[in-house]
Every structure is written in C-alpha cells, then in structure tokens.
Amino acid sequence: MSPASGLPWDRVRLSVVVPVYNEVHTVEALLKRVREVPLNIEIVAVDDGSTDGTTEILSRLEKEGVVDDLLLHVRNRGKGAALQSGFARATGDVVVVQDSDLEYDPMEFPALLTPILQGWADAVYGSRFLGGPRRVHLFSHRLGNVIVTFLSNLLTDLDLSDMETCYKVIRRDLLITLPLTRDRFGIEPELTARLSQAGARIYEVPISYRGRSYDEGKKIGWRDGIAAIWHILRCNLLPPRAPKWNRPAMDPWSR
C-alpha cells in the first residue's frame, strides 16, 4: 500500500525491529522486502542466538546496508528479550515489530502508520481478523488466540480482536516509558497491558496474513498459549505498571 497523501511521511522515521532466531530460509527475503517499503526506515535486527547460519546472513546484510543496526545475543533468550534489545537501539519516531518468517507483509506499514500520523492513535495493532486476506490454517491456533485475547481484554478493558498479532506499531516516546520484563512470547500480552496502563490510544487496522505450518518452521506451540494466560494475569495484576503517559503537545514530525 502506498502512503496516503497529505501526511508528513517525509518527516517521520520508522524503526523496524526484527527479532530473528534460526530463520536462514526467510530472513534475507524478509529484510529486503522491508527495505523496499517507500518510507524512511531504520532496520534494527536482533539475532537471538541463531545456530543455523542466520547470523552470517545478517552480518552480510549489515555490511551491504540492508540492515542498519545488528545486535547479537550469545544465546537464545526469547522474542521478548530480543525486542527489548532492539527497542533500546531504535532511533525512529515510531517503532514497529516485524517477525522474520514472511507471515506478515511489510508493505502494509503505511496503513499501520497512518492513524498515528493522523493524530488519532499512539499505537496501532494490525489485526488478522478484521477482513484482510489470510491463509485458512489451524483452528487450534485461532481458538487459542480468541481465548488469550478475550482474557487480555477482560483485564485491560480494551476491545482488541487480535492481541497476539506481531504488528504492533508504537510511538517511540511512548514505548520508552513502558516497563517491559517478559523475555519470551509473554512480550505480546505485556505490551498490551502496559499500553492500557499508560492510557494509550490504540487503533486496529486489517492486515493480510500468511501463517506457516510447523513443517514450514512455525515455532509457537500450545505451551506458549498456556504461558500466555499466566503472562496476562501477571502483567495486568502485579507490578510493575506503566505510568500514565503525557502525550506531547506537538508531535516530533510536525515541527
């Protein structure tokens, strides 16, 4: 999708944080796809202890200028730890999470960024269940998503359709105020809980989705779904909590 006219696209920088673990078959194609998006983009890739040759590909892509900043974890610490490392290094006005497995299409960044540039939202979630094209896939995954999204909504009083989506787009000046502690897939409910606690304005936009099977390399499983329930309870009911966020009177890209 091309950027809509009338918005300050030339004044906003989007940091794309890409957590990577053993994605030798997809990571190069994904990162080159991100680089093709017609926006001012910074790519921060975090290799989370890969052992399959992914690290060597990322190092080459950094030398070629495809990746702007490459961070290496000595051992596998989990998606949440990789994202926290990447968030700390991001320098853009807005940050988006991008998985490295080609399930999500980075050409949808303009649509995801639009509500923020319009001044309507502080964070935007790309929902796989609001009408975009998607692969007809595993019912068990959809059911698990419905359950954890419902429980998260119950405790945050939000009305999200897809809490577990990869595509979370957040203003960086808001993101740096959120106390994040979850090292693995618990980062998804934690981000949602912290945004709710901060009083952030959250929008959802429909996205396309091409889900992978386990034979194709999908990593998340039923144990992660059970863990998500614990993380939802932990992040919503126990400290730390995000402070209420005071939105700046003027956006940095409007100056």
Examine residue 36 and state whether it is found in any structural domain, yes or no.
yes
Examine residue 2 and state whether it is found in any structural domain, yes or no.
no
Examine residue 253 and state whether it is found in any structural domain, yes or no.
no
Task: Enumerate residues 6+ apart whose C-beta is below 8 A from 241.
Answer: 179, 194, 197
Check which CATH number belongs to the domain holding 166 and give it: 3.90.550.10
**What's the token pair of residue 13?**
């920088």
DSSP structure string for 123-148: EEEEETTSS--B----HHHHHHHHHH
Please give the Cα distance from 252 to 255 (Å, whole number): 6
Count of structural domains within the chain? 1
**What's the token pair of residue 47?**
């290799």
**Burial 84-104, CB ≥16 within 10 A → b, else e:** bbbbeebebbbbbbbbbbbbb
Domain of 35, in residue numbers = 12-243
DSSP structure string for 206-236: E--B-PPPTTTT----HHHHHHHHHHHHHHH
Task: Enumerate residues 6+ apart whose C-beta is below 8 A from 255.
Answer: 11
Examine residue 251 and state whether it is found in any structural domain, yes or no.
no
Examine residue 20 and state whether it is found in any structural domain, yes or no.
yes
Please give the Cα distance from 206 to 224 (Å, whole number): 24
Q: Using DSSP, state whether 31 is helix, strand or coil.
A: helix
Can you give the pLDDT at residue 222?
A: 62
Examine residue 1 and state whether it is found in any structural domain, yes or no.
no
Task: Enumerate residues 6+ apart whose C-beta is below 8 A from 208.
Answer: 105, 108, 132, 133, 134
Examine residue 150 and state whether it is found in any structural domain, yes or no.
yes
Q: What does each of the 255 residues of the chain score in pLDDT, given as a tens digit?
A: 667 678 999 999 999 999 999 999 999 999 999 999 999 999 999 999 999 999 999 999 999 999 999 999 999 999 999 999 999 999 999 999 999 999 999 999 999 999 999 999 999 999 999 876 666 666 666 788 899 999 999 999 999 999 999 999 999 999 999 999 999 989 999 999 999 999 999 999 999 998 655 454 455 666 777 888 999 999 999 999 999 999 998 898 876
Please give the Cα distance from 60 to 56 (Å, whole number): 6
Examine residue 185 and state whether it is found in any structural domain, yes or no.
yes
Q: How far is CA 137 from CA 127, 168, 209, in A?
A: 16, 22, 10
Nearest to 104 by CA among 13, 33, 163: 33
Can you give the pLDDT at residue 6?
A: 83
